[in-house]
Amino acid sequence: MSIYREYLGAIPVSFASVSIGTTDIPLENKLKAISGAGFRAIELGFPDLITFANSHHAQHVNDEDYDLLCSAGSAVKKLCQKYNIEVMMIQPFSNFEGWPKGSNEREDAFARARGWISIMQAVGTDMLQVGSSDSPDITADIDDLAADLGELADLLAVHNFRLAYENWCWATHAPTWKDVWQIIEKANRPNIGLCLDTFQTAGGEWGDPTRPSGKIEKYDSKLLEERFARSLDELAHTVPADRIYLLQISDAYKPSKPLANEADNQGLRPRGRWSHDFRPYPYNGGFLPLKAVARAVLNTGFRGWFSMEVFDGGINGKGGMKYDLDEFAKGAMGSLNHLLDECADGLKNRSKGNENPKN
């Protein structure tokens, strides 16, 4: 499929609120910088909503105080309207699927889901991001995982809401795009789609922060590249464009010292730690093959949201995401445009007048 740059200019662009500055920075400051750089929407991060709610209500707001969170969410919606941006999605909803029937964990997961749905109504978004669970205690049965997502999708469908299911590359049973796609297909609901991510795809199937090279080393370099290319080709030719809801964009630093190959004190696996602290925007010191991932997604015919989701703690992961917000947002927009330039074959083919269909 030919990808012409002229047609990529219509791709809507978003920025995750938790990806610019720390959570103690006022949300309005973030929105101003994001809007000023030309982004059309945000992924509203739950930690930012909590911080905003604490300030808005002049008290500590609990994660499960949905009345106060919804009240704050309505104020967030008005604030976004002030800066002419929308709330494209709320995230990250985690450790939802796979708990045993009748367990306290499963009851809590569905209680959280109902609370988050009320928040979605308040902030004016129709999409909930669900990350593939990294709990060690969930079932490996794909039928059960799909059934849970289907039940959540049904709760969302009452409000015409959608579920964007993302593979987290350190997840317990669904770390790859293909894993979550198989679960989505088995769930068989029209309002479940993929949240794809350049980091989660390349970082899981190509990269390894525990190795000196930063790459998976159980295959030689040539075989690794071949396996990764086959995976992306399969994505491009098997996933319908309308089942992709967004593509999140970030790169990754190769850690200056390989990460320990075991979970940390909080139980977070090495790729999880890599994800949380070592993710710059493209062309800013990272090394992942982002262009290959983005082109594969574009080759499905997808032209929806490209959303910047970065967690830039520097090469050692300890930078704390402290920088000038306006400069950072503008730099991220420039890098996103550069990525689209790199993905394109050239200008529009004037003799055809359109992009070629998927072949």
Domain ranges of the chain: 5-343
pLDDT tens-digit readout, 191-245 = 999 999 999 999 999 999 999 999 999 999 999 999 999 999 999 999 999 999 9
If pLDDT is split at 50, 70 and 90, which confidence band does 357 have? very low
Extract the tokens encoding 326: 């306006």
Backbone angles phi, psi at 315, to 5 degrees: -60, -25
**What pLDDT is stored for residue 129 in this prediction?**
98
What mean pLDDT, rounded, does the chain reach?
94
Per-residue HEC secondary structure of the chain comes to: CCCEHHHHCCCCEEEEHHHCCCCCCCHHHHHHHHHHCCCCEEEEEHHHHHHHHHHHHCCCCCCCCHHHHHHHHHHHHHHHHHCCCEEEEEEEECCCCCCCCCCHHHHHHHHHHHHHHHHHHHHCCCEEEEECCCCCCCCCCHHHHHHHHHHHHHHHHCCCCEEEEECCCCCCCCCCHHHHHHHHHHHCCCCEEEEEEHHHHHHHHCECCCCCCCECCCCCHHHHHHHHHHHHHHHHHHCCHHHEEEEEECCCCCCCCCCCCCCCCCCCCHHHHHHHHEECCCCCCCCCCHHHHHHHHHCCCCCCEEEECCEECCCCCCCCCCCCHHHHHHHHHHHHHHHHHHHCCECCCCCCCCCCCCC
Predicted local confidence at residue 293, as pLDDT:
98
Model confidence, pTM: 0.94
Q: What per-residue confidence (pLDDT) applies to 2?
A: 83
Classify domain 5-343 by CATH architecture: Alpha-Beta Barrel (3.20)
- The tens digit of pLDDT for each residue in 243-253 reads 999 999 999 99
Average pLDDT for 165-174: 96
pLDDT for res 323: 85
pLDDT at residue 87 greater than cutoff 70: yes
Summarised one tens digit per residue, pLDDT across range 57-66 is: 999 999 999 9
Retrieve residue 178's tokens: 């293909």
What percent of the chain lies above the pLDDT cut of 90? 89
pLDDT score recorded for residue 150: 98
pLDDT of residue 319: 76
pLDDT digits (tens, 9 = 90+) for 310-348: 999 988 888 777 789 999 999 999 999 999 999 998 765
Q: What is the pLDDT of residue 239?
A: 98
- Residue 359, pLDDT > 70, answer no
When mean pLDDT is compared across 33-42, 43-52, 322-331, the lowest value belongs to 322-331
Q: What angle do CA 48, 83, 65 make, to 5 degrees?
A: 30
